[in-house]
Structure formats: C-alpha cells, structure tokens
C-alpha cells in the first residue's frame, strides 16, 4: 500500500500559491470561464435534465425558430455557470461524427477574454492549433468576437470577447423563456475542470498549457500518491495567472487492474474532459437537493473514513460548521490543508458511457483538490468499475 499523500507536499508551501502564480505569463489574460458547450444526442431532453436535476435556469436558445438550420443549442444558467447543449439537426453536420465517436461530452471550454483577436494571435504564435479564426458576430445588442484553438483530444478552447455586447448570451440566440423553472440547487461557479489524456501524455499537455496559454503547474500528484490496491493515475494542476482557471490534467498509470482514466479513454475514445467541479456555499443543502432530484453519487467510503475526520482536520475542527454524521449520511468527503478544509462529492457518470461526471465542492479555506480523499474516492470508483466489468 502506498503512502497517503502528505498535505505538506500537496500545498507546495515553500512557494505559496500566489507567488507561483506570479510566474504565469498573463498574455491572454483570462477573466474567467465564459461557458461550457456539450455536444449531445438530444439537446432538448438534456436541457430538461440539467434544469430538473441540477437546477439550471432557462437562459438562451437558438434553433430552427431563430434561423439556425443545422444545429440547435439550449443555454442554461445557474449563478455564474453557463452550459450550452448543442445537437445537430441533420446528418450533414460535423457534430454527428463527434457524437458517434465520443458520445455526449464537453466540446468547448470557453474562456472570457478582453480581446479575442489578441488571445488567438498570442496562442497561435506559441504553437496552438486553430479551431476558429477570430470571428465577429453582431446583432442589435452589439457584437461579440470569438476565436478558438484545440486542446487535448477534440476538445477546444474558445476565447470570447463580449465587452461590446449587452444581449442574451451571443448574437443569434434569443432569450429562452420557459414556464418550467425548477429552483436552483446552489451551484455558483466552475471551480476547476479536469482533462484526461493518454498514456505518457500528461507532461506534454502540461508544457502545452505553460507555453501556449501561459499557465503554471502549481500542484502535482504522482502515481505513488494517487493509488489504490488496484489502480493508479498521475495528475498535474495547471492554473492561469489570476488563479480563476484551474485545469488538472490526468494520465493513467500502471496498476494491477484498469485505471479509471483508462476506462474513460476507452469509452470517450480519446482524451477529453473528465469532470466539472462546481462550487457551492452550502454543500449539505445542495447535495440533499440534488439527491432528491435523482442525481446519483459515488457510494460512500467506509466508516473508518468518517471516524478519522477529527484527527485529519485537527484545529480546523474548531471552525467546522458541518455535522460529520450529516456529511456521512450524504456521502460527502472532507479534506484539509494548512489554510482550511474542503467538502466535496462526486456524481456517477451523467451519461451512459462512463465518461463525464460532476464534482460538487465547498471550499472552507483549503486550496487543494481533495488529495487526502483520492484513495477513498478511487476505491468507490473501482467498485463502480467492477459493476461495469471495466476494472
């Protein structure tokens, strides 16, 4: 059995997070996540799911009624999070090939920038592969400039400049008014988004984010730290200069059985987005609500995990508001670092292929990614993999 990750290692405290971020080159610069676009088989039904189960609100729409003849998109919003669900309307659309290969999944991680032309030029001259040249879209509410580059697999980053626009979402979309408006579940913003890449490819993508995007690698976990009896993986966390965009990159590592990253790669049939972590201010309330609406989470770790929480949290227990019994009832995980603690939980994959899932996270001072939970988490995932016959 490998050593449990040491919290001191995880925090990289000899540098301090802010200091490392100063090493980032903010030539883009990124203001935040703008939207996440999924290619899905049936956007109308997927939109219903994200509204009903996750509490996203109807926001914008484009389709046949707005003159979009080849594809339809529903935009959903919850606090700062915007999801776009897109489906092709005929067999000629190139989206069909993406769906046939990957199933439903994340195509675009869109980043909000001051200047989409400059973001494109800066990344292209550093070696990016073009997805979309700078394109101006206009309507009566102003104009939006977008450009895009490929990252791992067929996933892309679209740069969105919207400082001269005050319409709903993007030109070409209309406000989506619906009579069906389930209440939000307390999801606030995207905390981080994780990419799974192939064997031996993690460092190449780490270098890509450093060189092309000006990111820094501020946390690393090797296969000795992220391991169970059966499987391992490696992970490096990339951040942009202001720390608003955090992209951990995972690759599989050799173990006795198949790693969850390998399972992902088999079913997504390429690198891609593994999970989207969304922040809440009240994870107990959010998870209670999500469970009531049918979201399924990974099974709980053993009793010993919850018994050990007071000793793992140490002095952070003094300001912990949550009741451990309640966390256990909801299967919420707890981790801590020097600055505080965090609460997190992971859904099961949210489509039929065991690919994309969501994480719900509440940070109470901690800046890590729940490394102290990796072992318990991965053992839960392995029980699920065993059920699927993919371990």
Of 145 and 360, CB closest to Fe ion: 360
Contacts of 305 (CB under 8 A, 6+ apart): 333, 376
Residue 145 and residue 116 in contact, taking contact as beta carbons nearer than 8 Å: yes
In the complex, minimum distance from the CB of residue 22 to Fe ion, in angstroms, rounded to a whole number: 24
In the complex, minimum distance from the CB of residue 193 to Fe ion, in angstroms, rounded to a whole number: 8
DSSP, residue by residue, 210-262: HHHH--EEEEEE-TTTSB-SS-EEEEEEEE-TTSS-EEEEEEEE--SS--HHH
Residue 111 and residue 157 in contact, taking contact as beta carbons nearer than 8 Å: yes
Distance CA 237, CA 82 (A): 23
User: Which part of the chain contacts Fe ion (CB under 5 A), choosing from 7-15, 106-114, 263-271, 359-367?
Assistant: 359-367
In this structure, the number of other CB atoms found within 10 A of the CB of residue 374 comes to: 21
Of 123 and 235, CB closest to Fe ion: 235
Contacts of 96 (CB under 8 A, 6+ apart): 88
In the complex, minimum distance from the CB of residue 226 to Fe ion, in angstroms, rounded to a whole number: 12
In the complex, minimum distance from the CB of residue 238 to Fe ion, in angstroms, rounded to a whole number: 13
The interface mask with Fe ion, positions 226-265, x = CB under 5 A, is: ----------------------------------------
- 160 scored as a contact of Fe ion (CB under 5 A): no
Report the residue closest to Fe ion, judged by CB. Answer: 277
Of 161 and 359, CB closest to Fe ion: 359
Look up residue 107 and give its two tokens. Answer: 């195509």
In the complex, minimum distance from the CB of residue 377 to Fe ion, in angstroms, rounded to a whole number: 9
Tell me if residue 30 falls in helix, strand or coil: strand
In the complex, minimum distance from the CB of residue 97 to Fe ion, in angstroms, rounded to a whole number: 29
The interface mask with Fe ion, positions 296-315, x = CB under 5 A, is: --------------------
Of 115 and 384, CB closest to Fe ion: 384
Footprint of Fe ion on residues 277-296 (CB under 5 A)? 277
Of 122 and 337, CB closest to Fe ion: 337
In the complex, minimum distance from the CB of residue 361 to Fe ion, in angstroms, rounded to a whole number: 7
Contacts of 164 (CB under 8 A, 6+ apart): 142, 143, 144
The interface mask with Fe ion, positions 315-354, x = CB under 5 A, is: ----------------------------------------
Of 212 and 277, CB closest to Fe ion: 277
In the complex, minimum distance from the CB of residue 147 to Fe ion, in angstroms, rounded to a whole number: 28
Distance CA 108, CA 266 (A): 21
- 191 scored as a contact of Fe ion (CB under 5 A): no
- 359 scored as a contact of Fe ion (CB under 5 A): yes
Distance CA 325, CA 320 (A): 13
Of 21 and 247, CB closest to Fe ion: 247
Footprint of Fe ion on residues 45-84 (CB under 5 A)? none
**What are the φ and ψ backbone dihedral angles of 256, each rounded to 5 degrees?**
-65, -30
User: Which part of the chain contacts Fe ion (CB under 5 A), choosing from 12-20, 168-176, 293-301, 358-366?
Assistant: 358-366
In the complex, minimum distance from the CB of residue 342 to Fe ion, in angstroms, rounded to a whole number: 10
In the complex, minimum distance from the CB of residue 298 to Fe ion, in angstroms, rounded to a whole number: 12
Q: Rounded to the nearest 10 degrees, how much is the dihedral formed by the CA atoms of 312, 300, 233, 231?
A: 110
Footprint of Fe ion on residues 260-279 (CB under 5 A)? 277
> 201-207: long-range contacts (C-beta < 8 A, 24 or more apart)?
201/152, 201/251, 201/271, 202/234, 202/235, 202/236, 202/249, 202/250, 202/251, 203/236, 205/151, 205/152, 205/249, 206/236, 206/238, 206/249
Residue 161 and residue 110 in contact, taking contact as beta carbons nearer than 8 Å: no
> Count residues contacting Fe ion (CB under 5 A)?
2
In this structure, the number of other CB atoms found within 10 A of the CB of residue 69 comes to: 10
Of 111 and 277, CB closest to Fe ion: 277
* CA nearest neighbour of 37 among 66, 68, 60, 54: 60
Kindly list the residues in this chain that would bind Fe ion in the complex (CB under 5 A): 277, 359
């Amino acid at each position: 059995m490998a050593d449990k990750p040491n919290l001191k290692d995880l925090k990289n405290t000899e540098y301090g997070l802010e200091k490392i971020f100063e090493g980032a080159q903010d030539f883009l610069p990124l203001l935040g996540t703008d939207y996440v676009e999924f290619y899905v088989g049936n956007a109308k039904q997927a939109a219903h799911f994200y509204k009903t189960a996750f509490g996203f609100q109807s926001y914008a729409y484009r389709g046949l009624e707005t003159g979009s003849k080849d594809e339809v998109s529903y935009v959903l919003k919850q606090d700062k999070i915007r999801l776009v669900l897109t489906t092709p309307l005929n067999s000629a659309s190139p989206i069909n090939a993406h769906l046939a290969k990957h199933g439903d999944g994340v195509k675009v991680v869109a980043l909000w920038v001051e200047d989409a032309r400059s973001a494109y030029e800066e990344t292209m001259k550093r070696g990016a592969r073009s997805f979309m040249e700078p394109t101006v879209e206009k309507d009566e509410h102003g104009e939006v400039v977008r450009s895009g580059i490929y990252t791992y697999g067929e996933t892309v980053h679209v740069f969105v400049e919207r400082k001269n626009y005050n319409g709903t979402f993007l030109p070409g979309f209309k406000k989506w008014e619906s009579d069906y408006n389930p209440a939000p579940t307390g999801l606030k913003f995207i905390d981080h988004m994780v990419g799974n890449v192939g064997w031996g490819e993690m460092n190449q993508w780490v270098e890509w984010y450093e060189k092309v995007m000006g990111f820094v690698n501020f946390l690393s976990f090797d296969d000795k730290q992220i391991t169970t009896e059966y499987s391992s993986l490696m992970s490096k966390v990339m951040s942009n200069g202001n720390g608003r965009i955090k992209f951990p990159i995972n690759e599989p590592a050799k173990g006795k059985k198949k790693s969850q990253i390998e399972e992902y790669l088999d079913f997504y049939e390429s690198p891609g987005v593994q999970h989207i972590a969304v922040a809440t201010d009240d994870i107990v309330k959010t998870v209670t609500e999500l469970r009531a609406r049918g979201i399924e989470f990974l099974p709980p770790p053993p009793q010993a995990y919850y018994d050990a929480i007071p000793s793992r949290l140490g002095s952070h227990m003094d300001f912990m508001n949550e009741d451990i019994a309640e966390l256990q009832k909801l299967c919420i995980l707890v981790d801590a670092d020097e600055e505080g603690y965090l609460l997190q939980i992971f859904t099961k994959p949210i489509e039929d292929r065991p690919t994309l899932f969501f994480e719900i996270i509440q940070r109470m001072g901690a800046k890590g990614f729940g490394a102290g939970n990796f072992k318990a988490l991965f053992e839960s995932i392995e029980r699920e993999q065993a059920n699927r016959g993919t371990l």
